[in-house]
Each structure stands twice: as structure tokens, then as C-alpha cells.
Amino acid sequence: MGNTIAVQIDDLTVAYDYKPVLWDIDLEIPEGVLMAIVGPNGAGKSTLIKSILGILKPIAGTVTIYGKSYKEQRSLVAYVPQKGSVDWDFPTTALDVVMMGTYGSLGWIKRPRQKEKKAALEALEKVGMLPFKNRQISQLSGGQQQRIFLARALVQDASIYFMDEPFQGVDATTEIAIINILKELRKAGKTVIVVHHDLQTVPEYFDWVTFLNVKKIATGPVKDIFNDDNLTKTYGINYKVSIQE
């Protein structure tokens, strides 16, 4: 850990209008970390991920994945969007959504076949959703929908995973199930980057953290930089968390 840089961001500035959402971000994410991005609402956490993935076009700055542009390294990256970003009443099944994870490697026109279906079923198994594979997605609970999204990313079999608030609106059981999968991914040498809201669980879940509030406040190992000083700088109020040793 710490030798190879998985994601490198230089001078990244993004604005929706005249007001910058991200201002001059420099960030290096080492390979193999399980990293939380924390910051208040409107700090640009989702925007940062979307800019790395090329969904948003930055005003300035560059992003490289293992030294090359995202376009060249697409197959190394998987994305779990916010659950609320799609219409869950869409006429499709859980298995079908997970299969979408294989579309990238298939490319244009080619249809998913047995091999892709098998991979999707395995991913469903991993997140404990195999019994629900033929459910219409609107008939799944919020936690189950989140697990489906996670399974879709797992199918991509990537090296770097970006997740936008995967713990939002899920119950304790699902949260534990998800964090265990994330820890497994790290164990397998993958890099996992998570937009996270619950500051209490940061030391327990993550080994790396980035504080963000339009500008980058700090980044590094949780045990070194997750302290009241950085929290206060990021959230603007006197913040105190008790870190369990």
C-alpha cells in the first residue's frame, strides 16, 4: 500500500454555473486503500466522483487512472451511483440490472450470453440477493436495491470502485453486509473510494480518508488525520468525535 498511485488528480476545478463546486483539487489515491470522502452537503463529493468518471466535464485539471486517462482505463473502474439517481419503477428485474454491469466489456451491439449471466448470478450471490433475482426492482426494499447496485459494480470486476453514498437509507444488516464486501475487495488488492456521511463509522470502516469542502482540506491515513482539527476545518463548526481506540 502507498507505493502505486491508483488515481491522480491535478488542479481539478469544476463549476455548474459561475460558482465553483470544486476548487483546484490535487489528490493522490494510493492503490489498495478503502477511502472515505467526507464533507458537508454541497462540498462537491459526488461531483468529484462524477468528474473522475467523465460524467461531468471539469473547467480545468486532469485526472489519471494508473497514469492514463479515464477513457483508456475504463475497464479498470466500476461505479455505484446514488440509489436515488434512477427510477426504480423501471420495468426490469434485479438480475437484469446486475447484467448491465457486463455491458461495458461487451461493447456496442453485442448481447449478453450465458457467460455474462453466470457472472451476474455470482455477483447476486455475493451480496445475498440470489433469491430475489427475478423480482421487479420496485418490489425490493431500499437496502436490497442498494445491494443490487453493488452487485452490478462487482460484475464489472474492476480494480477501482467508486461508490456514491452506498450506506444511505439502508438498515444495519445491509450496512454490515456492504462493508464486509468492501473490506473483501480491499483484501483482494482493489481500491475502493466511498462518499460517506456517517462520521462515527469512519475509523471503523475505512483506512484512508479525504476531507472535502469545495477545496481539499486533507487526505491521508485515518489514524493520522481523522481528528477534530480537520473535522472543524471541513465542517466549519467545532466538531468533536470520540474515536474508539
Partner 1 sequence: MDIQEYFSLVFTDYTLRTITLGTAILGAVTGMLGSFAVLRKQSLLGDAISHAALPGIAISFLITGAKDSNTLLLGALVSGLIGTFWIRGIITKTHLKSDTALGLILSLFFGFGMLLLTFIQKQPNANQAGLDKYLFGQAATLVESDVWMMAIVTGICLFVLLLFWKEFKILLFDKDYAKTLGFNSKAIDILITSFIVLAIVLGLQTVGVVLMSAMLLAPAAAARQWTNSLAKMVFLAALFGAFSGVFGTAISASQNNLSTGPVIVIVAAVFVLISFVFSPSRGLLFKQIRFIKNRRDLELHKTLAFMYHIAETHENISHPHEIKILNNFHGFTKGTLKKLVEKNYVTLQGSTWCLTNEGFKSASNLYNQLTQQDE
Give the nearest distance from C-beta 136 to partner 1 in angstroms.
Answer: 4
Site size for partner 1 (CB under 8 A): 29
- CB of 153 or CB of 217, closer to partner 1: 153
Residue 18 is a binding residue for partner 1 (CB under 8 A): no
Among 97, 99, 135, 94, smallest CA distance to 118 is for: 99
Piece of 4-12, 32-40, 102-110, 122-130 that binds partner 1 (CB under 8 A): 102-110
Residue 104 is a binding residue for partner 1 (CB under 8 A): yes
Piece of 7-15, 58-66, 100-108, 218-226 that binds partner 1 (CB under 8 A): 100-108
Give the nearest distance from C-beta 85 to partner 1 in angstroms.
Answer: 7
Residue 87 is a binding residue for partner 1 (CB under 8 A): yes
Piece of 72-80, 196-204, 207-215, 234-242 that binds partner 1 (CB under 8 A): 72-80
Residue 225 is a binding residue for partner 1 (CB under 8 A): no
Residue 108 is a binding residue for partner 1 (CB under 8 A): yes
Q: Which of 8, 64, 136, 168 binds partner 1 (CB under 8 A)?
A: 136
Give the nearest distance from C-beta 35 to partner 1 in angstroms.
Answer: 19
DSSP character string of the chain: --SSEEEEEEEEEEESSSSEEEEEEEEEEETT-EEEEE--TTSSHHHHHHHHTTSS--SEEEEEETTB-HHHHGGGEEEE--GGGS-TTSS-BHHHHHHGGGHHHH-SSPPP-HHHHHHHHHHHHHTT-GGGTTSBGGGS-HHHHHHHHHHHHHHT--SEEEEE-TTTT--HHHHHHHHHHHHHHHHTT-EEEEE---GGGHHHH-SEEEEEESEEEEEEEHHHH-SHHHHHHHHSS----PPP-
Residue 142 is a binding residue for partner 1 (CB under 8 A): no
Residue 111 is a binding residue for partner 1 (CB under 8 A): yes
Angle formed at CA 84 by CA 36 and CA 106, multiple of 5 degrees: 80
Residue 103 is a binding residue for partner 1 (CB under 8 A): yes
Q: Interface with partner 1 by CB under 8 A: which residues?
A: 50, 53-55, 71, 74, 77, 79, 81, 85-87, 90-93, 97, 100, 103-104, 106-112, 136, 152
